């Protein structure tokens, strides 16, 4: 992994609609222009996010309670993923806005309405970067993965809600 100082330019629209999908993949799709990530003049548009419990990545041999993946793609079909690790602690503000929707998304798709992806706070954090693959089918290779170095917190209630919505033990083995 390469340790860099901050994530390159991340641009997000001020608002968009997000659909929580209860399918086996539990993909949460962003509708409309959700912003882009610029890595070496290649622009990756935010298309969806999902969570893994426990985390799929480890830092210094430590696995965490949760990992968010924000999936981005180019017009050529190239992928980039930003991963954010979480441990139990204070509630996460982004999850707080989604908590009731997460709880009600069990076994059904819901439109959560207007959510600003900037609330995930991707910017200005040290990170690790490597080229790997998607961790869910079709497991596309050549994906630029960026893992935010700072571990964030999520409350026990927030983690339980995600697990209750189908995100329990869905991380690939490492």
Task: Report the distance separating Cα 147 and Cα 127, nearest Å.
Answer: 5
pLDDT for residue 27 = 63
What the block records as the tokens of 112 is: 């959560």
Domain boundaries, the chain: 2-165
CATH 3.10.200.10 fits 2-165, yes or no: yes
Query: How many Cβ atoms are within 10 Å of 88's Cβ, its own excluded?
Result: 13
pLDDT for residue 139 = 86
pLDDT for residue 5 = 36
pLDDT for residue 99 = 79
Q: Decide: pTM greater than 0.95.
A: no
Bond prior to 64 in cis (omega within 30° of 0)? no
pLDDT for residue 10 = 47
pLDDT for residue 147 = 94
pLDDT, mean of each 10-residue run, the chain (174 residues)? 40 48 59 83 89 92 94 94 96 86 69 75 80 87 94 94 78 70
pLDDT for residue 169 = 77
Between the alpha carbon of residue 132 and those of residues 38, 61, 91, 142, the distances in Å are 18, 18, 31, 6
pLDDT for residue 162 = 83
SS3 state of residue 93: helix
pLDDT for residue 7 = 43
pLDDT for residue 26 = 53
Task: Report the distance separating Cα 94 and Cα 91, nearest Å.
Answer: 9
Q: Which residues in 102-140 belong to E strands, given as ranges?
A: 110-114, 127-133
Task: Report the distance separating Cα 40 and Cα 102, nearest Å.
Answer: 35
pLDDT tens digits along 24-45: 445 677 777 788 889 989 999 9
């Amino acid at each position: 992994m390469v340790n860099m100082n901050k994530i390159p330019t991340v641009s997000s629209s001020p608002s968009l609609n997000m659909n929580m999908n209860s399918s086996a993949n539990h993909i949460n799709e962003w509708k409309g222009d959700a912003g882009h990530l610029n890595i070496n003049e290649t622009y990756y548009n935010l298309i969806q996010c999902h969570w893994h419990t426990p985390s799929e990545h480890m830092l210094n041999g430590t696995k965490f309670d949760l990992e968010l993946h924000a999936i981005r793609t180019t017009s050529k079909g190239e992928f980039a993923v930003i991963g954010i690790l979480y441990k139990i602690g204070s509630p996460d503000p982004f999850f707080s806005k989604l908590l009731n929707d997460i709880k009600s998304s069990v076994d059904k798709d819901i439109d959560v309405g207007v959510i600003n992806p900037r609330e995930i706070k991707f910017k200005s954090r040290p990170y690790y970067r490597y080229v790997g693959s998607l961790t869910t089918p079709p497991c596309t290779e050549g994906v630029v993965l960026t893992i935010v170095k700072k571990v964030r917190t999520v409350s026990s209630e927030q983690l339980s809600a995600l697990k209750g919505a189908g995100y329990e033990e869905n991380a690939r083995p490492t």
